[in-house]
Amino acid sequence: MTTTATSEVLVEADSGILTITINRPKQRNAMTLAAATVIAEALTRLDDDPKLSVAVLTGSSGTFCAGMDLKRFQLGERPVVEGRGFGGLVEAPPAKPLIAAVEGWALGGGFEMVLACDLVVAGAGARFGLPEVKRGLAARAGGIFRAPRALPRAVALEMLLTGEPITAQHAQTHGLVNRVVEDGTAVDAAHTLAMAISANAPLAVRASKALALDARTWTDAEAFERQSTYTDPVFASADATEGAAAFTERRAPRWQGR
């Protein structure tokens, strides 16, 4: 296990899982430029390190992230990393899977960070909201267009136009949240999900994520035509041979990531 820490973000690697914890509890984990920079660096590490398979993003002390630190905003700071966007994430999510483990509030930019993740585990008391219109702002860190993709149009528009939050149960009903768990256990549940992902062939996981996301706007005909760019290297890999051998020999596969 390796752990690195700043006053605002904790980063821990263990068993192929990178856990990134926003650590500003007195400010409800509101995002700052310093925190966003550490998150961006952690996500680069995730994609570059072959020993890492998946990451979990969470917040400390029962809150995910209350969005942008408005006091810092008044002073002219923007928690935006060039090339990565708000929170060091929303404009360039990692190629490897990223799971949001949400306790308490995920508001504004915090919810937009959730929307940039691939999977979401939430405590039963979690709340998701885009209150920007209440502050004279707009959800321009992806919320305006990602919320209607992740939720039914009417639900997303109600969130965007009223600024009112929805519950974890409501979010799960509409497919935004994968699992709702007991409060205080979201990180553990996210790690269980991460372990299930990390047990699989890394090339296959990465290609599956990339194709699933890129093909959202393609027709079926376009998807079948273009998918070979993503899937041919997977089928030609040493891991594909190993997967078949492990199945035949009834043993756990030994992935090499090539």
Distance of alpha carbon 240 from alpha carbon 258, whole angstroms: 9
Instruction: Provide the β-strand partners of residue 179.
Output: 121
Tell me, yes or no, if 132 is annotated catalytic: yes
CA 16 to chain centre: 16
Given the residues 8, 77, 103, 112, the one annotated as active site: 112
Tell me, yes or no, if 112 is annotated catalytic: yes
Q: CA–CA distance from 7 to each of 23, 105, 123, 223 (Å)?
A: 7, 21, 25, 45
Per-position DSSP letters for 174-185, written without gaps between them: TTS-SEEE-TT-
Cβ atoms 38, 5 nearer than 8 A: no
CA 139 to chain centre: 17
Closest CA to 206 of 178, 177, 237: 237
Given the residues 8, 77, 132, 225, the one annotated as active site: 132
CA atoms within 13 A on the CB side of 184: 0
- End-to-end Cα distance, the chain: 24
Q: What ranges in the chain are assigned the alpha helix state H? A: 33-48, 70-74, 109-115, 143-150, 153-162, 168-173, 186-198, 202-214, 220-226, 228-235, 238-249
Cβ atoms 227, 215 nearer than 8 A: yes
- What residues are labeled active site? 112, 132
